[in-house]
Chains A and B, each alone.
Chain A
Amino acid sequence: MRNFLAILERELKSYFFSPVAYVVLGFFLVVTGLFFYNIVNWFDRMSMQSMMMAQQYRQMPQPINVNMMAIRPLFHNIAIIGLFLVPGITMRLFAEEKRQGTMELLATSPLSNWQITLGKFTAALVFYLIMLLASGVFVGLLFLFGNPEVMPILTGYLGLLLVGGCFISLGLLFSAFTENQIIAFVGAFAVNLAILSLGWLANFVGPNLAAFFSSLSPIEHFDDFAKGIIDTKHLIYYISFMFGGIFLTYVTVESGRWRGAR
């Protein structure tokens, strides 16, 4: 446990002692802000239209749900932004250690590869969580001018954390493959996109295959969380996805001990 915490602490420090954390966090907030601005604009127009419609037909205006019309699309956007940004968070985790020779320190210290792998995974997850919390600013603004429900927001964030965890586990794996950060980034990014596109494939195949394909994509599983539903089916999907990624990373690191190629 002490070793795990030591790795976790060092990784987090290294995010925040270098420009990485601030650049990623900054870009994340700028991009999320842009999406948010568009969503709010669109929401505004919808409300106006609904008011006008109501006036036209001399009815009460149809209430428009903030959760459904603003927060849910925002969460979807954040999930997709994560797909681009998370490889940026994870690419250095192993690649950097190999390049600067510190893998030699870790590998010759009395640490298990589980401690190393889990420490790094958790560090990236904590950083991602900080990113998500920062995006709470936008949701908070909606509370100032509207009255969204709290619970679906919480489940939405839980879902985002799980989606991010999947991206992180994949990114970690690609970082363990190489000492080149660009390869680690591009590899993780490409596989993230490929898995996402499997979800889209569902639109073009028969109903049986469609269910299969859509159940592969981390984004598809996120829908229910955004709606405020926690379904064990999705939880199991995410947890097994993450475990798979972490386990493969562990195997990759461990195999280095046997082959001596690290």
Chain B
Amino acid sequence: MIQVQNLTRFYGRTPAIQDVSFEVEKGEILGFLGPNAAGKTTTMRILTCYMPATSGSAKVAGFDVFNQSLEVRKRIGYLPEQPPVYMDMTVKSYLSFVAKIKGVDSRERKNRINDVMQKTAITEVQDNVIRKLSKGYKQRVGLAQAMVHNPDVLVLDEPTVGLDPNQIIEVRQLIKNLAGNHTIILSTHILPEVEMTCQRAVIIHRGRVVAQDTIANMTQHKRSLGRLVLQVDGPGAQVRDKLASVHGVKKVHGGAGDRYEIECEVGRDARRELAQAVVQNGWGLLELRPKDKDFTLEEVFLNLTTEEGGAKA
């Protein structure tokens, strides 16, 4: 549905994004992650035809965002960081205006507006002037605006900013429900949001893509490198030597009492061999487990986007 290839954008001589490439399948929710000023908004603005790229190309539904921008704009709903609302209009008349300029047929307009107002839970404020609404309501009006023409693609720049915890849950649920019929790109720096709503994530840092994968793969990424914790009932030094000689074991740290910490060779799972070695010697195998749990997305993110972590990763 969305193909982005080697997208680069300079502001003067400073690159905002460089060589950004990713794809989004139809019906998928893609999380677009990155610290502030990583280039999330720039990428989204290029995708929504708000600004051109310096080089590279982006296609939405097969149309080029620059050369066929009108076709792209018909198919895209966009919620910028700052909800693009007219402060002195009422919610209803604002949505009606947006429906008109997005090309919603006049017969369907009323239904569409009622539908999105219901989905974003703003029906009760429909006759209020937007200026007088709270931040959360404004944000939801912005969300309603992005969906009013039932677009194939939704681009949401930090959609849950300014909402209270209940509303955040509602909006996430709403976004989840939209997947399937809509392809969604969701930018955020709130990590649980990505874990909860997205199937895949692109992590961008200093204008470059540093990781892209499914959430599941990202968080399991380094499990095989992990360490094992072993508790053995047996004569200390002997056990230690034996364990160190097991195939696939790189190093044995340890032993606080009868606990050993085993560092495996990269990509090897030595648990089977270790268990065998212990049992064959007649010692008691009390415990054998991987030391590292799955990485949380937060750890992956921090690893990739902070300097010290970046070097380690």
Contact = CB atoms under 8 A, between A and B. Distances in A.
Asked if A and B are interacting partners, one says yes
B85 A102 contact: yes
B86 A110 contact: no
Contacts of A112: 70
A2 B109 CA distance: 14
B84 A101 contact: yes
Interface stretch (A9-17, A172-180, A209-217, A223-231): A9-17
Nearest to B83: A101
A7, A109, A112, A262 — most chain B CB neighbours (10 Å): A109
B192 interface: no
Nearest to B129: A17
Contacts of B50: 104, 107-108, 260, 262
Given A3-B101, A110-B103, A258 B52 contact: yes
B51 A2 contact: no
B interface bracket (residues with beta carbon within 8 Å of A)? 20 to 34
Contacts of B74: 110
Interface of A: 2-3, 6-7, 9-10, 13-14, 17-18, 100-112, 257-262
Contacts of A260: 9, 45, 50-52
Nearest to A18: B88
B205 interface: no
A105 B102 CA distance: 10
Contacts of A17: 88-89
6 contacts: A10-B97, A100-B82, A100-B87, A102-B86, A104-B80, A105-B84
B98 interface: yes
B102 A2 contact: no
A109 B69 CA distance: 10
Given A10-B86, A260-B9, 11 more contacts: A13-B93, A100-B86, A100-B87, A101-B80, A104-B45, A105-B78, A105-B84, A105-B98, A108-B76, A110-B73, A261-B51
B219 interface: no
B85 to A, nearest CB: 7
B145 A108 contact: no
Contact of A104 (B52, B78, B86, B103): B78
A18 B83 CA distance: 20
Contacts of A18: 88
A241 to B, nearest CB: 29
B100 interface: yes
B47 to A, nearest CB: 9
Most buried by A among B78, B88, B93: B88
Closest 10 A/B residue pairs (Cβ): A260-B51, A105-B84, A6-B100, A101-B82, A108-B48, A110-B73, A102-B84, A110-B74, A109-B101, A104-B80
A72 to B, nearest CB: 39
Interface of B: 9, 45, 48-52, 69-70, 73-74, 76, 78, 80, 82-89, 93, 97-98, 100-103, 145
A37 B231 CA distance: 104
Contacts of A2: 100, 103
Contacts of A111: 101
Contact of A108 (B52, B78, B86, B89): B78
Contacts of A7: 101
Contacts of B93: 13
Contacts of B86: 10, 14, 100, 102
A104 B86 CA distance: 12
A108 B73 contact: yes
Nearest to B51: A260
A13 B87 CA distance: 12
A6 B101 contact: yes
Nearest to B49: A108
A12 to B, nearest CB: 12
A107 B102 CA distance: 11
A105 B145 contact: yes
Contact of B84 (A3, A6, A104, A262): A104
Contacts of B101: 3, 6-7, 106, 109-111
A50 B194 CA distance: 88
B311 to A, nearest CB: 34
B88 A6 contact: no
B6 to A, nearest CB: 18
Nearest to B84: A105
Contacts of B69: 257
Contact of B73 (A10, A102, A109, A259): A109
A187 to B, nearest CB: 24
B88 A14 contact: yes
Nearest to B103: A110
Nearest to A3: B101
A85 to B, nearest CB: 21
A47 to B, nearest CB: 48
A259 B100 CA distance: 27
Nearest to B9: A260
